[in-house]
Structures are given as C-alpha cells and as structure tokens.
Amino acid sequence: MKKKKTKKQGKNWKKFWKLGVDEFNTQYFGVSKDGELTVAEGHNSYNIADLATKYGTPLQVVFPFIIEDRLEDLIGYFNAYIKILGYKGKFFYHYPMKVNQNREFILPLISEGANLEVTSANELWLVKKLWEGEKFSGKIRVLCNGPKTDQYLDLIEELRSKGMNIVPIIEGSEEIERISKFKGDIGIRVDLDIKADTHWDKKFDRFGLSEKDVLLLNKMKNLKVMHYHLGSQIKTQKSILEGIKHAFTIYEKLQKIHHNLDTLDIGGGFGIPYEKKNFYTAKNVSNKIIKILKNLSNKAGIKHPNLAVEWGQYVVAPAEITIYKVISEKPILKANANSWYVVDGSFINDLKDTWAIHQKWHAIPANNMDVNLKRVWLAGSTCDSDDKYTAGGNYILLPKLSENKNQFIAVLDTGAYQDALASHHCLLSAPTKIVAQDGMIKIVRKKETAESIGKLFGWTNGEHK
C-alpha cells in the first residue's frame, strides 16, 4: 500500500506536534525527514522509532542529559537572581527522591549539585548505599521528611554519627521530643493554613504541625530549617508566590524564638506544562521568589533566609518518554473519537496518574508523523475499562494506521512518579527501560518475564505446586 501523504506537504510537523519549544520542555525533540521522532543530545541524535523497533515496546527511554540541563539551568537562575538582586541568603536545591528513585536519575542529579530529600527509611537506605560507595561528596545535605518510624530515626542517627550532613524534619508532635535532642541541625514542617491551586482540592491536609502549634514550641537551638510543601503540579505562579508570602509570616515569628533558624524550605510543586498551554516559567518565578524574600526580610528586619527548593517533577518529568505500539484498532460510535487504538502496554499500570488523577499527557506519534490523521482514544492491554487515555474525554490526533507499518506512540514527560506507582494488573510486564546517553544505549530494565513477575506473587523457583 502506498503511504498516503497529506495534502499539506509544506506543513511544519515539528511545530504541529509542539516539538522544539523551550516553554513546553520539548526543545530536544524534532522530526526526521521520514516523519519520525528524534531526540538531540548535543550533536548526538536518537531516532525513537528505531529504538522502539530494536528494544521492543512498551519502552521507557531515559535521557540523563535532560535532567542535567534542567537542574543546571534551575540552579543557575536562582544564583543569578541572588547576585543581581544582592540577596544575602544562599540557594540549595534538594531533590525529592520519591519523584523518581531510579539510579539513572539520582546519579546525574547529584553530579549537577543536587542535595537530597527523602521520605522514608527505605529511600534513606539507598542514600546510605550511595554514601558508602562514595558516590557523593561530604557536602551534600539530606533532609528527612515523612513519618519517622524507629527504624527511620535509628538510620538517621547512624548516618549522622558517621558524618553525613543529615537533617530530620519534625513532621508531627510525637516526633518533637526525640528529634529536638538530635545532635545536629533539625527542621520543622508547617502545615500552612492556605489552599494552593493543585489537584488536591480539600482545605485540609495532614503534613506537619499547624501554624498555631509550631509557634508554641520551646526554643530549640538546633532548629535551622522551616519547611512546607503545598502539593504537586501547582497550576498558577500566583499560588506558589502566595505560599511563600504566607510562609514568611510564620518564618519571621519562628525566627524570633529560634535564633539559629536560617533556612526557608518551600518544598516542591512547580508544575510541568502537560497541556501545552501558557504556563509559568522557572526563570520568571525564581526572580520573583528572590525579590519577595528580599523585600519581606528587609521589612521585617531579619537576615535574608537561605532558600531550599524541592521541585522534583519540574526537573525530572521531561527526562523520560514512554513508547507504546498500536496492536489493534476498534471503532467507537458516537463519541469525540472515531477509534480505539489498543496499545501493547497499560496506562493503569505504567502511567498510573492517568487513572489516579486524570493526568493529561502530551501523546504524539513516534513515526508516520506526516501522514493523515485520525481522532482516537488510547486503550491499554489490561482487561479493565479504566485502562485508557482519552485526553479527558476529548481525543488524541494520531496517524491513520497502515497495514504494513507499525505505529508507535510516544508519551512525553513521564519521568516523575510513574515508576514507583506502577503495578502489575493482569500481570502485564512493565516496560523495558533504556538509558540514552552520550550517543549510546544501555538497557537498565529488561522486559519482565512471566517467571520474574510470578515471583512477586509467590511463585518461586518454578515450583508451581
């Protein structure tokens, strides 16, 4: 069958698919002359359809250079505005490990100067292993959030005694007694009495001490950090900035009680423009944050606080893409889309936010980008009706299928949260995972076999008795 070219031969496909645009984080992506998705790392180029053919689908492709670029830029913005505006505090980036704990994410972050933030004893155990393997310098600081089990606290104390710069953050009132006696810097998390513009639409949350309780704490000489976190994927710049202004009112009061308090940690929440509309940018927001903190602390007559930022999703989401192959097409009657494209992976398993919080993704073809298009919905391979991606009931534009050609679909910005949330509904295999770096490909997770998945469910050593 002859490939049908669209009539608009002159069309700029790169633009059409919203590729090559900094504000969408797609500046690395392009389209080859054969209509295939490409990713450029300096002068190296990766053809995604070729990778999908060679390594099989579903496939996750990780680009460490994107992580490095983004973190370098982010640290650069803050340090530049600190200098330009004459701000006296220092900037610290802490990578929240829960966003993606994979080794191929953590190592490039550390090499670019990230400090860490962990939420559990098990994440901290990984940090311990890195530390023992001398994978990072003694200067790195590790903030410990989340509820502190005895196991977690024991590990924190062990690492502190071995010389790690580790800071437990008091998360609830039952932690105050033990952590305040900690022989090192500590922090406190405040549950700010404001509502940010995020998916979590309730007025209450449960993390940290209330504003009232935090101000009643006895003087603590080792209290260095006031921390808060408003939630992920904050929709507006205003919400981020209002959070900082509000937090500062507490910081100022706390500082008068605990004289060594010198760091405001504004947590995570900086969003990704998944929906490719006007979105705020890190360059602008970092400028505004430093301005606000400078003005407020000058007015209050206190030292400019050091600033810690834990923007996780922002830094890592664009560094991974997930590729599926279309394995069948089924008609849909009377809906916004005309066909289901069934893919050889699962949204419910591999891109769980599709299901959990109705995440919208930037889904594009990885090949045949220049042929006629069709309105479709995507279906996963589990037997679950909810295993689908419909762009919120709207439709996804994808190429019409041709009998003798595979159709690959790339979902962009999948590097945050999806891996640790992933599951094995219908015992489907997780995607194969490869890392593309310096023009070379490394397999970091082979396609799961029936046997390896069976083991997770107690079917060991082939003894299926």
Ligand X SMILES: *Cc1c(COP(=O)(O)O)cnc(C)c1O
Binding site for ligand X (CB under 6 A): 96, 98-99, 117, 145, 229, 232, 267-270, 310-314, 416
CA–CA–CA angle 328, 332, 337 (5° rounding): 95
Q: Which helix (H) or strand (E) holds 374?
A: strand 373-379
Residue (28 or 311) nearer to ligand X, CB: 311
Chain-centroid distance of CA 169 in Å reads 22
CB of 96 to ligand X, least distance (A): 4
How far is it, in rounded angstroms, from Cα 364 to Cα 18? Answer: 9
SS (H, E, C) 240-286: HHHHHHHHHHHHHHHHHHCCCCCEEECCCCCCCCCCCCCCCCHHHHH
| Nearest residue to the partner ligand X, using Cβ | 268
Cβ atoms of 25 and 272 within 8 Å: the answer is yes
Residue (288 or 374) nearer to ligand X, CB: 288
Task: Look up residue 59 and give its two tokens.
Answer: 């496939």
Residue (95 or 324) nearer to ligand X, CB: 95
CB of 195 to ligand X, least distance (A): 16
CB of 294 to ligand X, least distance (A): 23
Residue (59 or 97) nearer to ligand X, CB: 97
CB of 102 to ligand X, least distance (A): 15
CB of 312 to ligand X, least distance (A): 3
CB of 117 to ligand X, least distance (A): 6
Residue (289 or 366) nearer to ligand X, CB: 289
Cβ atoms of 378 and 389 within 8 Å: the answer is yes
Residue (285 or 398) nearer to ligand X, CB: 285
CB of 178 to ligand X, least distance (A): 20
CB of 190 to ligand X, least distance (A): 12
Residue (270 or 341) nearer to ligand X, CB: 270
Q: How many CB atoms lie within 10 A of CB 62?
A: 25
How far is it, in rounded angstroms, from Cα 42 to Cα 60? Answer: 21
Q: How far is CA 287 from CA 25, 429, 456, in A?
A: 19, 44, 48
Torsions phi, psi of 177, nearest 5? -60, -50
Torsions phi, psi of 246, nearest 5? -65, -45
Residue (96 or 380) nearer to ligand X, CB: 96
CB of 143 to ligand X, least distance (A): 8
CB of 269 to ligand X, least distance (A): 5
| Orientation angle between helical segments 121-132 and 150-161, nearest 10 degrees | 20
Cβ atoms of 137 and 113 within 8 Å: the answer is no
Chain-centroid distance of CA 358 in Å reads 16
Which residue spans within 80-164 are E strands per DSSP? 91-96, 115-118, 141-144
Q: Which helix (H) or strand (E) holds 311?
A: none
Residue (209 or 371) nearer to ligand X, CB: 209
> Among all chains, which residue has been given the structure tokens 């105050």?
176
CA terminus-to-terminus distance, the chain:
51
Task: Look up residue 181 and give its two tokens.
Answer: 């006696």
Residue (232 or 432) nearer to ligand X, CB: 232
Which residue spans within 394-439 are E strands per DSSP? 396-399, 408-411, 432-437
Residue (208 or 345) nearer to ligand X, CB: 208
How far is it, in rounded angstroms, from Cα 352 to Cα 359? Answer: 9
User: Which of 234, 255, 252 shows the shortest CA–CA distance to 243?
Assistant: 234
Cis amide linkage into residue 58, ω under 30° from 0? yes
CB of 246 to ligand X, least distance (A): 17
CB of 444 to ligand X, least distance (A): 22
Residue (169 or 428) nearer to ligand X, CB: 169
